Chain A
Amino acid sequence: MATPLRLKELSKKEELLTGGHRLCAGCGAPIIIRQVLMAAEVPVVAANATGCLEVSTTIYPYTAWRIPWIHTAFENAAATISGVESMYRALKKKGKIDRKIKFIAFGGDGGTYDIGFQSLSGAMERGHDIVYICYDNGAYMNTGIQRSSATPLGANTTTSPAGRVIPGKVQPRKNLTKIMAAHGIPYVAQSTPAHWRDLITKVRKALEVDGPAFINVLAHCNRGWRTSTNTTIQDTKLAVETCFWPLYEYENGKLRINYKPKEKKPVVEFLKTQGRFKHLFSPENEHLLKEIQEYVDREWEALLREEGMWREGSEEKE
């Protein structure tokens, strides 16, 4: 029986990522990992791409991981876990192992959207029974906040600095969740740690399907987002309330939006609390705020339309 989705029950489960790691206070990443590991009802083995999560949790001779864990390099968490999972299948076939074990890869946005994109795509196409979790904090944080293809339009990073001529990042984000959905794998979702019930439910679904699953999770980073350390959950919720980061999932290719705000907040509500967008609020950058709002609206409406198509399709059948 799966642990009921009640905080009281979940809090009784053993923490598989212990305290004492060296991630920043208020970092979104460990909150995500703890929820993901809490969701699992069978033993899991994890692979981790290089990045904040990896370096801060395994400073030798310590490790914060109470599960088998492997980090090999930056661009290959998906390839690494596909090797682990293949060995599991090989040894199971030979009767050398009889336990049910699940396999999860964790990567930051840099390790997933950019340098690890190829190995992620390859592993998904091969159909390994793995779950890939991207904790997307919107930049290469570990090396000091450089822009990645997940960095939002307009954000000030150390390689897309808001300067006198160029106002931060000039390109919108890559929509990786959609790209993963286009792989036609059994399960793809987007979530946040501020919506723990949503995230845990999605992780359970991802672990349950036979084959690859991908979940993109928004990860607050107070260093990179330029916020205080106690607004992690608040800021993350704003991302969802403004539809900057909608909660949705694809089950066997079928889209479902898991949450539709009654009143969609303007995206500036999400932007204004973060120092990385501060320059956008000076008069000469007003047009960028408009552009960002238009971008968010466009993506959200496309999502609604796509879901609508699914609904119409199923109504016809009924």
Chain B
Amino acid sequence: MGKKLAVTGNQAVATAMKQINPDVCAAYPITPQTEIMQRFASFVSDGEVDTELITVESEHSAMSACIGAAAAGGRVMTATSSQGLALMWEMLYIASGMRLPIVMPVVNRALSAPINIHGDHSDSMGARDSGWIQLYSENAQEAYDNVIQAVRIGEHENVRLPVMVCMDGFIISHSIESMEFLPDEVVKEFVGEYKPLYSLLDVDNPVTYGPLVLPDYYMEFKRQQHEAMGNVKEVVLEVAKEFEKVSGRSYGLFEEYRLDDAEVIIVILNSAAGTAKDVVDQYRDKGVKVGLLKPRLFRPFPYKEVAEALSGAKVVAVLDRADSFGGFGPVYMEVASALTTNGARPLMLNRIYGLGGRDFMPEHAETVIEELKRVLDSGKIEKQKDYLGVRE
């Protein structure tokens, strides 16, 4: 099997990119992503990959160049964070609207102002409606595994959509964990050869990418994007099954942690889920029926499956590391939508935590579980949306 090594999250992702060996990559620095493309630049300089690296002058141009390169019929990747993703915003919709399977690790970081370089999910959550598939990763291992699987998911003939693989800035990108790498040949074989569709370089069969589409046809284009998204869940599971065969690690649409008989449930994604799972264990030891659901595939959101997984819940707390000012957090909104079809609906809380990289500590998870217990007993919610670990 693979090699076990202690690496940073960025190193894990850069290694996945090296093993994927994309045809073209674009690079632009931004903390905490910088290290990924920096490492990748060394792979290019040392001839460890065949990639053409475009060292663009902005993230807007990074995504523009990725779109041009992908339309020219090859495998394309880049990586970014925060302001970089925000600057790309215009181009994200164009990548997905053109159905180009670009893969982009997003090292989650807060958005300005005030400027802050640390991890929260405001960046990728702000891009959740851009037509990209989004996979979230708890740790370096998951980020590595997700990047490799993302290639197959995005390029699948029933999908052909770009994919973001998200992991927490600094908490994962810069801390060292032990994880397992697949051998180079295994990754190479797993991702396979890229199959170009409607390439701009097929000069004998010229195609027009990005025409003006007026009200008479525009909606059909958008409807097709929705349908492609509809095929994603199945492909994610199919790819996960194959990935398990080569790696021994299994993935689903989300992780169910001690959910079976759980009455109170925490929904939380990325690195803080790891901390919360430990606290769930402690409460389980005390006999509290608590469980945790950790979304992996956030776009498309698996509404039906999440609703089923939460069907036994009495109280659910959804923890968001991104805010919607004047609204609920993004994960909360999806979980609430999922549950509208359930007959007996649980009571729901939304707790915002960890903005700008503020630590999510075990006591925060304890606070939530204590509150879940109180709500379970009283049947009453005091504050539906609130903040964890913030000064009043």
Contacts and interface: CB of A to CB of B under 8 A. Distances in A.
Interface of A: 43, 45, 47, 54-55, 58-61, 63, 65-73, 75-76, 79-91, 93-94, 97, 99, 101, 118-119, 121-123, 125-126
A91 B201 contact: yes
B61 A70 contact: no
Contacts of A75: 60
Interface in B191-213: 199-203, 206-213
Contacts of A61: 217
Contact of A82 (B50, B54, B212): B54
Interface in B209-245: 209-214, 217
A70 B212 CA distance: 11
B203 A67 contact: yes
Nearest to B22: A90
B90 A73 contact: yes
A118 B64 CA distance: 13
B54 A86 contact: yes
B214 A60 contact: yes
A69 B91 CA distance: 17
Contacts of B338: none
Contact of B210 (A67, A70, A123, A125): A70
Given A73-B64, A126-B56, 10 more contacts: A60-B214, A70-B210, A72-B210, A79-B64, A79-B68, A80-B67, A80-B68, A82-B54, A83-B24, A83-B67
B354 interface: no
Contact of B64 (A54, A58, A72, A99): A72
Interface of B: 23-24, 26, 50-52, 54-58, 60-61, 64-74, 76, 90-91, 94, 98, 199-203, 206-214, 217
A71 B65 contact: no
6 smallest CB-CB distances across A and B, nearest first, come from A83-B68, A122-B57, A83-B65, A87-B72, A58-B211, A79-B61
A90 B55 contact: no
A122 B58 contact: yes
Contacts of B55: 126
Given A70-B209, A73-B91, A91-B201, A118 B57 contact: yes
B212 A55 contact: yes
Given A59-B214, A76-B91, A93-B50, A87 B202 contact: no
Contacts of A73: 64, 90-91, 94
A122 B61 contact: yes
A99 B54 contact: no
Listed residue (A87, A89, A118) with the most chain B CB atoms within 10 angstroms of its CB: A87
A71 B57 CA distance: 20
Contacts of A59: 211-212, 214
